[in-house]
């Protein structure tokens, strides 16, 4: 018998009970929609993090004081020796695989102009920061080597700081107060927005030694280094370690974090997150499948006489089996299709609200969800269908 005939019979049966068919599909619709949606958002977040992390520079290796056991983000300073500018000078001479490096001192302070005040993150750094960190001045100039060497009181301000303190007026050459110290504004950074939870536009950049002076620190928060190329990262780590261990009396009291390590840590976390969310969503797909099985069992019972009649007029067990499996597969696949459209719609709708996150419905998630829906229908259809196929035609015909 032509499979299209089975399909027609199945469609007729489903069309005869439209509301019930739809409600049965709803489980699969919700399941598939949530899989599509959550995977799209999870994958979007992954792409976002990758873009952001790549955006902070290329082939970065970050040296932070204190030893942590594992690679990746975060560290627990053990409070031993600090990283100093002298350490950095030594590295500049001896770590040949490092093309550029820049010191970073992070603190926070109120910045004032007249009676306007804003609390900002203050970054003490040097002339290489622009290159290494891939952040650029838009108007004016960045901190120069001379500014650093002479510990000048000059500041480069972020877009938000400029807007909040100066409004539309030109801040170049004007004086702001950082804490109690006066600084001359020499540049405005280009707009960058929020990167990895940090609003770069709300930062103020000053020469590193000036920062150490006014915040009374002799160490550095970290040193950013740029390695010559991707393949040299491990060797650069060895070089840096060698130099610093020598300088720190044989103690490895610092940690090297590569951009790659940060990226893979984040990717792993987000990947796991995506799988967990997808897994939870799959459970609702499974529940949807059980719903289909339930309704199919009811349907087989209701249509006992129909089954008996079909057998009497020439349907073999195989025909009845196929008829009911196709019914449940049609239910789950139509549900799957609606779910895909619905889930993709919500995902793209979310994109309109969070334009920064590159939410994208991937082909593989659509295919997986669809195949999964098909399998759910086939799997949960088998039991009711085989029950129908095994019915004795005489008993079935007599069934009231």
Partner 1 sequence: MADTPLIELREVRKVFVTGAIRYEVLKGISLAVERGDYIALMGPSGSGKSTLLNILGCLDAPTSGHYHLEAREIVSLSDTELARIRNQFFGFVFQSFNLMGRYSVEENVALPMVYRGLPRRERLQRARALLARVGLKDFNRHLPSELSGGMQQRVAIARALVNEPKVLFADEPTGNLDSKTGQEIISLFGELNAEGTTLVVVTHDPRVAEHTRRVLTLTDGAIVKDLRNGMAA
- Indicate whether 9 belongs to the interface with partner 1 (CB under 8 A): yes
Instruction: Choose which of 216, 313, 353, 363 interacts with partner 1 (CB under 8 A).
Output: 313
Name every residue whose Cβ is closer than 8 Å to that of residue 150 and which is 6 or more positions away in sequence: none
Beta strands in 152-272 (DSSP E): 154-157, 175-178, 181-189, 194-195, 198-199, 203-207, 222-227, 254-258
Q: How far apart are CA 352 and CA 358, in angstroms?
A: 10
3-state DSSP call for residue 333? helix
> Which residue's entry shows tokens 């004795």?
392
- In this structure, the number of other CB atoms found within 10 A of the CB of residue 90 comes to 16
Q: Which is nearer to partner 1, 86 or 312 (CB)?
A: 312
Kindly state whether residue 16 participates in binding partner 1, applying the rule CB under 8 A: yes
Cβ closer to partner 1: 323 or 365?
323
Q: Which two tokens stand for residue 85?
A: 């500018």
Q: Which is nearer to partner 1, 237 or 310 (CB)?
A: 310
Distance, in Å, from the CA atom of 233 to the CA atom of 70, rounded to the nearest integer, reads: 17
The residue within the footprint of partner 1, chosen from 54, 146, 194, 394 (CB under 8 A), is 394
311 binds partner 1 (CB under 8 A): yes
Q: Which two tokens stand for residue 385?
A: 């269908």
CB of 392 to partner 1, least distance (A): 8
> What mask, x for binding partner 1 by CB under 8 A, covers residues 354 to 393?
--------------------------------------xx
Residue with tokens 């739809």: 22
Question: Which of 318, 354, 364, 371 is in the footprint of partner 1 by CB under 8 A?
Answer: 318
Binds partner 1 (CB under 8 A): choice among 12, 138, 230, 302: 12
Contact of 323 with 6, CB cutoff 8 Å: yes
**Nearest distance from C-beta of residue 4 to partner 1, angstroms:** 10
Residue 99: enclosing H or E segment and its boundaries? strand 98-113
Distance CA 229, CA 235 (A): 11
- Note whether 5 binds partner 1 by CB under 8 A: yes
- Could you say whether residue 249 binds partner 1 (CB under 8 A)? no
Touching partner 1, residues 268-307 (CB under 8 A): 305-306
User: Could you give the 3-state DSSP secondary structure of residue 119?
Assistant: strand
State which of positions 169-208 bind partner 1 (CB under 8 A). Answer: none
| Among 312, 356, 367, 371, contact with partner 1 (rule: CB under 8 A) | 312
Q: What angle do CA 91, 95, 99 make, to 5 degrees?
A: 100
Residue 2 binds partner 1 (CB under 8 A): yes
State the residues that interact with partner 1 by CB under 8 A: 1-2, 5, 9, 12-13, 16, 305-306, 308-319, 392-394, 397
């Amino acid at each position: 018998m032509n499979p299209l005939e089975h399909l027609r019979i199945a469609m007729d049966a489903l069309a005869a009970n439209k509301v019930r068919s739809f409600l049965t599909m709803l489980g699969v619709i919700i399941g598939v929609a949530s899989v599509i949606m959550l995977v799209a958002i999870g994958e979007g977040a992954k792409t976002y993090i990758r873009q952001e992390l790549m955006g902070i520079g290329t082939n970065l290796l970050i040296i932070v004081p204190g030893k942590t056991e594992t690679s990746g983000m975060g560290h627990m300073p053990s409070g031993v020796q600090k990283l100093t500018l002298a350490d950095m000078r030594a590295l500049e001479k001896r770590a040949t695989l490092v093309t550029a490096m820049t010191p970073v001192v992070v603190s926070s302070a109120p910045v004032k102009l007249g009676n306007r005040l804003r609390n900002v993150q203050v970054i003490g750094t040097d002339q290489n920061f622009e290159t290494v960190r891939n952040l650029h001045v838009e108007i004016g100039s960045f901190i120069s080597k001379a500014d650093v060497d002479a510990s000048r009181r000059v500041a480069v301000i972020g877009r938000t700081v400029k807007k909040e303190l100066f409004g539309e007026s030109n801040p170049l050459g004007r004086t702001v107060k950082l804490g109690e110290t006066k600084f001359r504004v020499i540049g405005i950074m280009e707009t960058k927005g929020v990167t990895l939870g940090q609003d770069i536009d709300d930062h103020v950049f000053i020469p590193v030694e000036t920062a150490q002076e006014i915040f009374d620190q002799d160490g550095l928060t970290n040193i950013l280094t740029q390695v010559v190329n991707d393949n040299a990262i491990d060797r650069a780590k060895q070089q840096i370690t060698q130099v610093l261990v020598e300088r720190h009396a044989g103690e490895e009291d610092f940690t090297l974090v590569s951009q790659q390590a940060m990226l893979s840590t984040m990717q792993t976390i987000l990947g796991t997150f995506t799988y967990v969310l997808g897994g939870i969503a799959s459970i609702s797909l499974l529940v949807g499948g059980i719903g289909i099985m339930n309704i199919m069992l009811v349907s087989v019972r209701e249509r006992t006489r129909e089954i008996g009649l079909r057998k009497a007029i020439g349907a073999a067990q195989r025909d009845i089996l196929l008829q009911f499996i196709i019914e449940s597969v049609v239910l789950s696949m139509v549900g799957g299709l609606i779910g895909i459209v619905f889930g993709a719609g919500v995902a793209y709708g979310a994109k309109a609200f969070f334009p920064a996150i590159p939410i994208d419905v991937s082909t593989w998630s659509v295919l997986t969800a669809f195949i999964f829906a098909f399998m759910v229908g086939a799997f949960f259809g088998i039991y009711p269908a085989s029950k129908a196929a095994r019915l004795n035609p005489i008993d079935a015909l007599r069934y009231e």
